[in-house]
Structure 1
Amino acid sequence: MTASNVDPHARAVFDEAIVIDGLDVSDFSRPEVLEDLSAGGVTAINATAAVWEDFEQALENLSAWYERFELYAEWIRPGRSTDDIRAAKREQRTAVIFGWQNAAPFGTDLRRVQQFHELGLRAVQLTYNERNLYGNGCWEITDDGLSRIGRDLVHEMNDVGILIDLSHCGDRTTLETIEYSKRPVAITHAYSRTTFGHSRNKDDTVIRRLADRGGVIGTNAFPNHYPAGFEATVDDFVTAMEYLIDLIGVEHVAIGTDFCMGRDQAFFDWITASHGRKVFRDMAPAPNPYRHLRGFESPRQFVNIADRLVQRGHTDNDIRALLGGNWMRLFDEVWDKTG
């Protein structure tokens, strides 16, 4: 389905909604990637600004973003607060939330949490697939949970107002963080391991506990995490979303695409490495060029999610919550340091 074939009511609901992608790891150096976000009606994204980078490289990545804000101001703006996101909606631009998929750039100096927050960092995943100083990733054989400094980091991010992401963390690390955090946390891009036994998907017990503590899970659109792989479709995505809705309630479910627009094979080799070695866990060979879910192949097709949800009988209020309202509620609670 193309955007031109969307049900008029679904289009109207989509156009009035705040639409948020909880995780996007695209090649943002490409102007067309930024234009597609704005043209697709995406109000805000959690844009990955570090994965394997060290402290200095993470700083360089944020500097590059501030250059983009000047060069491409017609499409994007900084997303440091929910007020920024609401402004982006009015301006028909996309608010860019700085996020990391690995807390490693903090190192052992947790003063950096406040420093990076002042530079705009608003979401940080504790680990990326493997063990680091703070906890264990989902690719490790064993999971010893949060380390002592991991607990200190959780406490510091709570105090500063940075959203904690647990998508690539191991189950024990995820559960311990959910329990230890004073604020709700997120699984920005995953779905249920019950529906597909991929290591990156989450156990239902973990998902339930996330919701019990007020958190949100972003339904992932990464083809490797679906039974049909690169033949999966937008309908499979909505089915995955509906499974989560039935499991924990609509108020805890959102979207986190894991879009990789403009990325090449060298990027996937880099991002799926472990301890510097090229490894592939639960990863089917990717087509070249890379392809996302059929019918949800770029940000310009976000409206197709609203279309399918209308077709399946979801209410307008629920659709608005799923598209971005639930992320806004969580951001308001976590980013407000006085809350």
Structure 2
Amino acid sequence: MIIDGLQCGHFDREAFQSLQKAGVGGVVVTCGFWEGAVESLDSLGRWRDLVRENADVAEIATTADAVDRIGRSGKVAVILGYQNANLFEGRIRFVELFAELGVRVVQLTYNNQNELAGSCYEAEDSGLARFGKEVVREMNAAGILVDCSHVGDRSTLDAIEASSRPIAVTHANARSLFDHKRNKSDDVLKALGQTGGVIGCAAYRNITGDDYCRSIEAWCTMVARTVEIAGIDSVAIGTDRSHNFTAPDYAWMRQGRWTRGVDYGASAAGRPLKAPPPDWFQKVEDLNVVPGGLRAVGFSDREIAKITHGNWLRLYEATFRKQ
């Protein structure tokens, strides 16, 4: 079984079926990027309808046991997540309320600094704010996993220190392997390893690089090098794959409501609006080559099980429950 730590886009029945064919038993979905509380509630309602309409192939999971059970039954366990903390709208009590509605993963901030923490794209990372520390503690208590994928390194290290539970970087890579602002320093990866956290290695070309995208063996070599930094218990998969995205979706994801101008996100001027997928990952179903690729670069069956699903399940068991 494969668990993907982060995907986004407009899921439909075909997307769920493609994940089934890929051997993906669990996936964290992106319910929002910039949306406030009411819009986030709308999104949860749409996700519930979608899963209900496709109950034979998908089911929402709120515990590690449920992810494991659903995935092993042949269906896709849908784990509800957000790539920003805007859904809380500055209200500490909303953390518990959204947790009770099934939200299990929330990123502290997206591409901009907010009232919680600094983003990886800001010129200076201010670190975790007082409110950010309160939200981290509240997420720990409510059973929501703290995600720091787009968060700056200083704020990420602060979050690791402030959290009583291990945290995640659900979709990023090691900056020492591919130099990009969205990727994480070795200090962050080592801190994850020392505290039981997990990084989901991404397959998004803009933060993975052409060399690691040219074959499954090349990408798995990147995973192996990440294991050398963070440790075998702290590396997993977080492809950042998108489903059915169009130009307006990319504009919303990158620009939201915060700018009149153009923002390229992890891309750059002159690059395609949609980065080409890795050569080995042309369609969702191609994820099924990952176990074989990991084996080809020297991982044992036990290590492959940790990377493909075991490390996420351990982290979910440690975080998807109230304190």
TM over 0.5: yes
Pairing 1:82–2:67 present: no
Query: Aligned residue for 2:16?
Result: 34
2: CA distance, partners of 1:290 / 1:62: 28
Which consecutive segments of 4 or more residues in structure 1 shift more than 3 A? 229-233, 284-291
Pairing 1:280–2:264 present: yes
The 1:296/1:149 distance shift into structure 2, 3 A limit, reads: same
Letter in 1 for 2:162: Y
SS in 1 for 2:241: coil
Aligned-pair CA distance for 1:174:
0.6
Identity %, equivalent residues:
34
Task: Give structure 1 stretches of 5+ with no counterpart.
Answer: 1-17
TM-score of the pair, normalised by structure 2: 0.94
1: CA distance, partners of 2:152 / 2:230: 20
Aligned-pair CA distance for 1:233:
3.5
2: CA distance, partners of 1:231 / 1:336: 36
Residue deviations 1:35-61, cap 9 Å, x none?
211222111000000111111110000
The answer to whether the 8 Å contact 1:122/1:163 transfers is: yes
The answer to whether the 8 Å contact 1:138/1:200 transfers is: yes
1:163 to 145, 154, 157: 145
Letter in 2 for 1:283: S
SS in 1 for 2:158: helix
Letter in 1 for 2:127: G
Q: For residues 270-309 of structure 1, what are the structure 2 equivalents within 5 Å?
A: 270-273=252-255, 275-276=258-259, 277-284=261-268, 287=272, 291-309=276-294
Task: Give structure 2 stretches of 5+ with no counterpart.
Answer: none
Q: Which moved more, 1:226-235 or 1:275-284?
A: 226-235
Q: For residues 149-188 of structure 1, what are the structure 2 equivalents within 5 Å?
A: 149-188=131-170
2: CA distance, partners of 1:93 / 1:103: 29
The answer to whether the 8 Å contact 1:263/1:290 transfers is: no
Aligned-pair CA distance for 1:293:
1.0
Query: Aligned residue for 1:241?
Result: 223
Pairing 1:251–2:233 present: yes
Aligned-pair CA distance for 1:230:
10
Aligned-pair CA distance for 1:292:
1.4
Residue deviations 1:260-286, cap 9 Å, x none?
121122212221227234212551455
- Number of matched pairs: 320
Query: Aligned residue for 1:4?
Result: none
Letter in 2 for 1:175: L
Query: Aligned residue for 2:192?
Result: 210
SS in 1 for 2:146: strand
Aligned-pair CA distance for 1:229:
7.5
SS in 2 for 1:302: helix
Aligned-pair CA distance for 1:108:
1.6
Pairing 1:189–2:171 present: yes
The answer to whether the 8 Å contact 1:127/1:169 transfers is: yes
Q: Which moved more, 1:175-184 or 1:32-41?
A: 32-41
2: CA distance, partners of 1:314 / 1:229: 20
Aligned-pair CA distance for 1:249:
1.3
The 1:270/1:232 distance shift into structure 2, 3 A limit, reads: farther
TM-score of the pair, normalised by structure 1: 0.90
**CA RMSD of superposed structures (Å):** 1.8
The answer to whether the 8 Å contact 2:203/2:238 transfers is: yes
Q: For residues 311-330 of structure 1, what are the structure 2 equivalents within 5 Å?
A: 311-330=296-315
Aligned-pair CA distance for 1:89:
2.4
2: CA distance, partners of 1:292 / 1:88: 28
